[in-house]
């Protein structure tokens, strides 16, 4: 039976090499980072289009407020991820680091928390409409705005507590 040569990273007959060389791992990271930046930029364009459409049209759905908040917080998150990955690409190609990740990663985590809180608020409101159909008819006018503000406040408080406790 053949064996795997870990020192030379070569294969013997009938066995697959289980490790990557440093160069292969570097190329994998470059491709993944570049594709992720491309997808994030497409997401930014898409969210910008959603915001423009919803701001330019006056729609009276209670979910428009939630969707605008979600699109805004998603744009913040995608911007942070794009800049962090561009810094990593700079590091891979030119060994230059700007240290922006330490400032933008907490913002990215905060925006993730806000989006989760907004999704929970939307789901609770949908649940109330299904469970109590009269809720949709007698719903307070500014419920979406209040819940969006509470979602931002809750996410900020959770973020501050997590930063203090670390």
Read off the pLDDT of residues 21-79 as tens digits, 9 standing for 90 and up: 555 666 677 788 888 889 999 999 999 898 888 877 766 677 888 999 999 999 999 99
Q: Which residue has the higher pLDDT, 126 or 21?
A: 126
Q: Which residue has the higher pLDDT, 104 or 58?
A: 104
Q: Above pLDDT 90, what percent of the chain?
A: 32
- What's the rounded Cα separation, in Å, for the pair 20 and 26? 10
Task: Assess whether pLDDT exceeds 50 at residue 2.
Answer: no
Encoding tokens for residue 119?
A: 């999704």
Task: Assess whether pLDDT exceeds 80 at residue 147.
Answer: yes
Give the pLDDT score at 58: 65
- In a 10 Å sphere around its CB, with 0-12 CB exposed, 13-18 middle and 19+ buried, how is residue 40 labelled? buried
Q: What is the dihedral of CA 128, 131, 134, 138, to 10 degrees?
A: -10
Give the pLDDT score at 21: 53
Give the pLDDT score at 12: 44
Give the pLDDT score at 133: 84
Task: Assess whether pLDDT exceeds 80 at residue 131.
Answer: yes
In terms of Cα–Cα distance, which of 107, 96, 103, 102 is closest to 74?
Answer: 107
């Amino acid at each position: 039976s053949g064996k795997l040569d870990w020192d030379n990273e070569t294969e013997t007959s009938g066995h697959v090499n289980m490790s990557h060389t440093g160069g292969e791992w570097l190329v994998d990271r470059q491709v993944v980072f570049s594709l992720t930046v491309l997808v994030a930029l497409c997401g930014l364009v898409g969210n910008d289009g959603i915001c423009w459409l919803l701001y330019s049209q006056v729609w009276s759905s209670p979910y428009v407020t939630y969707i605008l908040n979600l699109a805004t917080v998603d744009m913040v998150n995608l911007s942070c991820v794009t800049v962090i990955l561009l810094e990593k690409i700079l590091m891979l190609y030119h060994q230059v680091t700007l240290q922006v990740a330490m400032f933008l990663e907490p913002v990215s985590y905060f925006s993730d928390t806000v989006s989760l809180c907004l999704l929970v608020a939307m789901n609770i409101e949908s649940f109330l409409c299904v469970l109590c159909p009269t809720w949709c008819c007698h719903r307070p006018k500014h419920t979406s705005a209040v819940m969006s503000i509470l979602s931002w406040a809750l996410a900020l408080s959770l973020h501050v507590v997590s930063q203090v406790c670390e």
